[in-house]
Amino acid sequence: MAANSQFSMAVHVLSMLAASRDENVKSDCIAASVNTNPVVIRRLLGQLAQANLVISQSGAHGGTRLAKCPNEINLADVYSAVACGEVFALHPREPNKDCPVGRNIEAVLCHLQKRIDRTITETLSGYTLADVFEMVEKGATA
Amino acid sequence: MAANSQFSMAVHVLSMLAASRDENVKSDCIAASVNTNPVVIRRLLGQLAQANLVISQSGAHGGTRLAKCPNEINLADVYSAVACGEVFALHPREPNKDCPVGRNIEAVLCHLQKRIDRTITETLSGYTLADVFEMVEKGATA
DNA sequence: CATATCTGTAACGATGTTAGTTACATTTGC
DNA sequence: GCAAATGTAACTAACATCGTTACAGATATG
């Protein structure tokens, strides 16, 4: 269960909200589509709200809706909102500093990590929620 | 401990081998630099050997060395050799197929996954082991 | 203002992955 | 034959993610 599905869930959730523009959608309803517990959804919505992607309302007739138009939300925003881990982890234990390689390898890997993260962000910024929703509606993978 | 450090370790290990071109390096020696158990290193070397990046020899005076020149090995090869997981996982539980979004979202996410993986591979293929080793020697992050 | 309905969040448990460790069979040079 | 290595299986420890329960707080509505 270790791999992180937050991004997948976020895209799913946002697609649900895009399907009901300007209506409050309840966490129970979203949870039913994602097939999980409403609390899991609310936790995720909290992160998306902090990133100003959605707006939630408490109380009766409450729920959540998009804070912007689907074409104003791109997937890079979503990716940074859910703060997924890096693509690859650094060493769990500190390398040996007495070794010329061990001493410097972490800086190099850290640089690579950032480089890749930038690449991912660039790629994701090419997709808006509107694009995703269109794909979902078509049932297409193009 | 969930995040995958195999790629980091692989780059470290290959840098060690690049530092001792044409010599057999023992797993104990590499383990000392990575600060882990030799068995962990041998497991990793097994994967790198299968990808034809290194060659191991059993027995006395055995060890491992690079199978090619450092400038013939690029990091995309390493990335695919250690078969890291995807950047983000799909839903752990199957979405609800009765929902229009739930029915189609997985195909879209799967498409996105592949798109990102391609981007990462492209970026990594821009670095050879020789590049990495040069950075390590300089202690620089550029 | 009482109530029903919703979100927000804390706390805990189940599950699964990763890496570390031990142990041992196998290979190979001397 | 012996010493020195790799290859690999099996087990354990640590940890992250997700699911679940429980409850406090907010808010429409009669």
User: Considering the domain boundaries, does residue A54 fall inside one?
Assistant: yes
Q: How far is the CA of B5 from the C1' of C19 (A)?
A: 9
User: Considering the domain boundaries, does residue A11 fall inside one?
Assistant: yes
As ranges, strand D nucleotides with an atom below 7 A of a protein CB are 3-10, 13-22, 25-29
Q: Is the CB of A85 under 7 A from strand C?
A: no
Tokens for A5? 């599905």
SS3 B104: helix
| Touching B: A residues 16-35, CB under 8 Å | 16, 19, 32-35
Question: What confidence score (pLDDT) does residue B142 get?
Answer: 46
Domain that holds residue B57: 6-138
CATH of the domain at B12: 1.10.10.10
Question: What confidence score (pLDDT) does residue A128 get?
Answer: 98
User: Considering the domain boundaries, does residue B1 fall inside one?
Assistant: no
What percent of chain B shows pLDDT beyond 90?
Answer: 89
Q: How far is the CA of A43 from the C1' of D22 (A)?
A: 16
Placement of tokens 């939300």 in the chain: A73
Instruction: Count Cβ–Cβ pairs < 8 Å, chain A vs chain B.
Output: 185
User: Considering the domain boundaries, does residue A1 fall inside one?
Assistant: no
Q: Is the CB of B39 under 7 A from strand C?
A: yes
A83 CB within 8 Å of a chain B CB? no
CA of B17: which chain A residue's CA is closest? Answer: A101
Count structural domains, chain B. 1
User: Considering the domain boundaries, does residue B15 fall inside one?
Assistant: yes
User: Considering the domain boundaries, does residue B76 fall inside one?
Assistant: yes
Q: Are A52 and A73 in contact (CB under 8 A)?
A: no
Q: Are A16 and A48 in contact (CB under 8 A)?
A: no
Question: What confidence score (pLDDT) does residue B1 get?
Answer: 54
pLDDT tens, A120-132? Answer: 999 999 999 999 9
Please give chain A's pLDDT, 142 residues, in tens. 567 899 999 999 999 999 999 899 999 999 999 999 999 999 999 999 999 999 999 999 999 999 999 999 999 999 999 977 788 999 999 999 999 999 999 999 999 999 999 999 999 999 999 999 999 999 754 4
Question: What confidence score (pLDDT) does residue B85 get?
Answer: 72
Tokens for A100? 């010329």
Please give chain B's pLDDT, 142 residues, in tens. 556 899 999 999 999 999 999 899 999 999 999 999 999 999 999 999 999 999 999 999 999 999 999 999 999 999 999 977 788 999 989 999 999 999 999 999 999 999 999 999 999 999 999 999 999 999 754 4
**Chain A contacts of B20, Cβ < 8 Å?**
none
User: B46: closest CA among B55, B38, B37?
Assistant: B55
Question: What confidence score (pLDDT) does residue A1 get?
Answer: 59
User: Considering the domain boundaries, does residue B58 fall inside one?
Assistant: yes
User: Considering the domain boundaries, does residue B100 fall inside one?
Assistant: yes
Flag if A124 and B116 touch (Cβ within 8 Å): yes
3-state secondary structure chain A: CCCCCHHHHHHHHHHHHHHCCCCCECHHHHHHHHCCCHHHHHHHHHHHHHCCCEEEECCCCCEEEECCCHHHCEHHHHHHHHCCCCCCCCCCCCCCCCCHHHHHHHHHHHHHHHHHHHHHHHHHCCCEHHHHHHHHHHCCCC
